[in-house]
Amino acid sequence: MYELEQVGAGSYYVNCPAKIGIYVGEQKDAYLIDSGNDKDAGRKVRQILEREGWQLKAIFNTHSNADHIGGNRYLQTQTGCRIYAPGMECAFTRHPVLEPAFLYGGYPCEALRHKFLMAQESDTEYLTDAVLPEGMQMFPLPGHFFDMVGFRTKDDVVYLADCLMSEDSLKKYGIGFLYDVAAYMDTLEKVKGMEAALFVPAHAPQAEKIAPLAEKNIAKVQEIAETIMMFLTEPMMFEPLLKRLFERYGLTMNFEQYVLVGSTVRSYLSYLADAGKVRANFEENCLIWERV
């Protein structure tokens, strides 16, 4: 864990639970793509940078989930590097309490205010093309989170953030977190058609061809949508629907899973409602979902 892997002349990643990309310029200036899940991850990355003689200039956050921005504050304090995040992700990175608040739908109780859902604050600026080093390109990958982006380096290495789950994760976790299902499906179709020397997803093995994994992720989204539709053959409130989905996919309920999976299921319901496949009714002051 936390081994440095070279995947191009100046392109690397740190092999850890959420892969951390590194792009090194000609003057040994280093740019991170995300920073890991906490201070300890940041410390291990700093040790790698020092060992290689690289100077950290900036961190480019693909999105603001805590496991991708958790090392920000430590690395910024230690090195003085600048930190950038795209669009709405910048606000969430500046104010990390927004993540558990968004997931819960209100002020998050103490059980949700921990490092897996809420990173430390960091001084973050808006990510634009103008701040990228020569040869690096940014492209949008919405769906998993608000304004998530990916990067292509001068070496034609593509860092895909969280837009793909590995085959093992698709089987293990059943329902992966999504914010916007329609946007996510569009992103998967775009990724499926991409070509690169190498692809580096944050939570899946590196690959020269990404289309097969993209297809499996598309199939999983379709499966979950169809399962929800099957359960809604009879009108149902949200909590019983969530319970059935947890049982169907062998999930164990706790507060963290309740907000992560619960938020995702609400996103699926919005997706299906916008497509005219389900509708919401209010009966006796209860919100009832049913198939159209």
pLDDT in tens, 45-64: 999 999 999 999 999 999 99
The percent of residues in the chain predicted with pLDDT above 70, rounded, is: 100
Q: How far apart are CA 13 and CA 7, in angstroms?
A: 8
What pLDDT does residue 1 have? 87
What pLDDT does residue 292 have? 97
DSSP secondary structure of 1-55: --EEEE-SSSEEEEESSS-EEEEE-TTSEEEEE---SSHHHHHHHHHHHHHHT-E
Domains identified in the chain and CATH numbers: 3-162 (3.60.15.10), 224-291 (1.10.10.10)
pLDDT in tens, 20-40: 999 999 899 999 999 999 999
Where b means 16+ CB within 10 Å and e means fewer, 91-119 reads: ebbbebbbbbbbbbeeebeeebeeebbbb
The answer to whether 201 and 148 have CB atoms below 8 angstroms apart is no
Mean of pLDDT over the chain:
97
What pLDDT does residue 121 have? 97
